[in-house]
Amino acid sequence: MRRVPITMPQLGESIAEATIMRLEVQVGEFVPADHEVMEVETQKAVMTVTTPCAGKVTDWVCEIGTSYPVGAVLGYLEVTKEDALRAGIAEENSVNTLSPGETEDAVRSHFAIDTTQELHETRKVEPTLSGLPVPVNATGASYISPRMRARMAELGLNASDLAGVPGSGAGGRVTVEDFEAFIRKLDEHHMTPASPMRIAVADSMRRSWARPLATVGTPVALDAMLEHRKKQDEPRPGPALYVIRALAIALSENTAVAGRLIGDRIVHPLAIDIGFAVEVDDGVLVPVIQNVDQRPLREMVAYYNDLVARARTRKLPPEARGLGIATVTNFGTFGIVWATPIPLPEQNLVLGLGAGRKKPVWDAATHQFTPVTEAELTLSFDHRVLDGGAAGRLLSRISSLLQNPEEL
């Protein structure tokens, strides 16, 4: 028999660690290959860890609620040599154990593994601290000395966490003494640990804010869209899906507006993949629909609804975890009329839809006011790539498409 480790897999391109949430299998149970044995939480979703081959779980060396890096050993399987070979597990990735009646000479070979040597070291990851309480009337740290940066690194803090630390140095400079006093006072506050999702959102917004961002907006009439929606069979597309499709068509006509400025070049996107914001516990997930410009509205309804449901359980399929080139957020579902959402770090655009409201609008043809359902459409963007004119033209094109929903 052989002892094969169950390791933390690479769960995504940018995922370096995951937190153990729940064990699905007990020690002593026999499991088939690719069986889900535990649930883990990354910065983006809840996923599962599976077995490399069939075998019996002999022990777990991980703890629930603890984060482990990719490649860390989480437990062990006792497997037969045949099952290991069938799964393509190399000799060096397993440890030989003697079966009843076998002698050590019977299993010793030139490539035999020393069973007294542990091949993998289980490493825990200390979660990053964030979300410090902010005192009133604090100007924040405008300059951070190397000494204070070193102290911040020890505590897992970044410059954003010091935005509210009052400074007593020259020109309001935050000294190390100010910083240490601030840290000591934290014990007076009620604190709760930030979830991996909350930390991921905070880090994403901090990196996004390093760019010069701007927001423009315009009112858009929703009556044509709402009338079109009434005529559709169930399940009907929601307002956000109309906006996603309109944005995709507009971007396909001029991909430069969704490009990213890298050095002295604007990098155009290879595909019109659009994300949309879904509120989940303690954060936001952004599922991505690929090639939206090539998919008619009616063909995306079921897929969109499925992604919303999966996002709320934080179990998105791999194809929906891409980066996307822009995001649509329907903040109107919360009764918000106007907002300035922040684009993701890897994107240039985020389009927001506010709550629809009945308004009197002057009709030049009838010379009277008529009731119109209207909502605010906002576009936040990287000002290095877009100016107000280009952003306004993009909004105008999206609004025009929404007035002709049958073309979506």
Domains of the chain, by residue range, sit at 2-107, 128-192, 211-407
What is the mean predicted confidence (pLDDT) over 90-95? 57
Phi, psi of 254 (to 5 degrees): -155, 85
pLDDT, one tens digit per residue, over 201-212 is: 888 888 888 899
Task: Give the whole-angstrom CA distance, residue 87 versus residue 226.
Answer: 54
Quick one: 82 exposed, middle or buried, by C-beta within 10 A (0-12, 13-18, 19+)? exposed
Residue range 2-107, CATH number: 2.40.50.100
What is the mean predicted confidence (pLDDT) over 297-321? 92
User: Closest by alpha carbon to 136, among 96, 166, 179?
Assistant: 166
Q: Is a pLDDT exceeding 80 seen at residue 15?
A: no
CATH superfamily membership of 211-407: Chloramphenicol acetyltransferase-like domain (3.30.559.10)
Task: Give the whole-angstrom CA distance, residue 74 versus residue 125.
Answer: 13
Least confident of 65-69, 98-102, 247-251, 394-398: 98-102
Average pLDDT in the chain: 83
Under the banding of pLDDT at 50, 70 and 90, the label for residue 101 is: very low
CA angle 294, 298, 301 (to 5 degrees): 100
Least confident of 169-173, 307-311, 346-350, 353-357: 169-173
pLDDT at 131: 34
**Is the full-model pTM beyond 0.75?**
no
Q: Is a pLDDT exceeding 60 seen at residue 95?
A: no
